[in-house]
Amino acid sequence: MPKPPVDPNKVVVFSGAGISAESGIDTYRDQDGAWNKVNPELVASKRAWEKHPGNVLSFFNERQKAVIAAQPNAAHYAVQKLEEKFEVVVITQNVDDLHERAGSSDILHLHGSLSQARGDSPEAVPFERGIAPIELGDRDDDGYQLRPHIVLFGEDMLHAEEARQHFLTAGKILVVGTSLSVYSAAGLLKKGRFEADKVIVSFDVQKVPFGYHLVRGKATEMVPVVVDDWLARADA
């Protein structure tokens, strides 16, 4: 199957929790990360939802409080600024809405969004739920218990094929603030084409993906540097 052509004007930004860390939202696997405070199996897995839904609701209600209190940071705004010269698709593992609030216009949430809820049934359609927490007994019109529209461990990533196509056709790929621990999201990076500009900004990644140039440092410091360089070169 021939690969689709690379579009030099298309940028994919692939983000993880590290882009929101400086906005005050805990990452997952850093020293002070969420998974070092609670076992994700107990609060963020399909099995936990089936056995103890109240624990899952409490965990994500707390995460939602942190998101509401947070503001987008210089990294989120720099990502939005890329839209001045490029067609930008933000493909994020994050469930916060900081890319939206920074003004990015094309965003795929691979792991869902805290701002959305849905009934606990396969046919249920997610809807914007505002900032109210979800409690046990909150039900949709069909009587199903409401849950956050979040992909739990043991559930499939959203927008997989669409995300894959974007990686295959991007002329530039900027990866920000992810430990690349969770597949299949992390598996998308290898779809990046040889001829594409591929940069990863992070404090520390265990292994730099093949073909990606590591820019080590804080997202708020380094993402603007990469973005300004790409914008300047677009004018040249």
Quote the longest CA-to-CA distance of the chain.
Answer: 59
Q: How far, in Å, CA of 159 to CA of 110, rounded?
A: 6
Under the binding rule (CB under 6 A), the answer on residue 127 touching ligand APR is no
Residue with tokens 């380094």: 222
To ligand APR, the closest distance from the beta carbon of 102 in angstroms equals: 15
Amino acid at 85: K
Provide the 3-class DSSP secondary structure of residue 66: helix
Q: Residues 32, 156, 204, 235: which binds ligand APR (CB under 6 A)? A: 204
Active site residues: 111
Residue with tokens 């499939």: 156
Residue 9 or 38: the one with the smaller Cβ distance to ligand APR is 38
HEC string of 72-105?
Answer: CCHHHHHHHHHHHCCEEEEEECCCCCHHHHCCCC
Residue 16 or 171: the one with the smaller Cβ distance to ligand APR is 16
Under the binding rule (CB under 6 A), the answer on residue 29 touching ligand APR is yes
Q: Residues 102, 117, 205, 226: which binds ligand APR (CB under 6 A)? A: 205
Binding site for ligand APR (CB under 6 A): 16-18, 21-22, 27-30, 33, 40, 93, 111, 177-179, 181-182, 202-205, 218-219
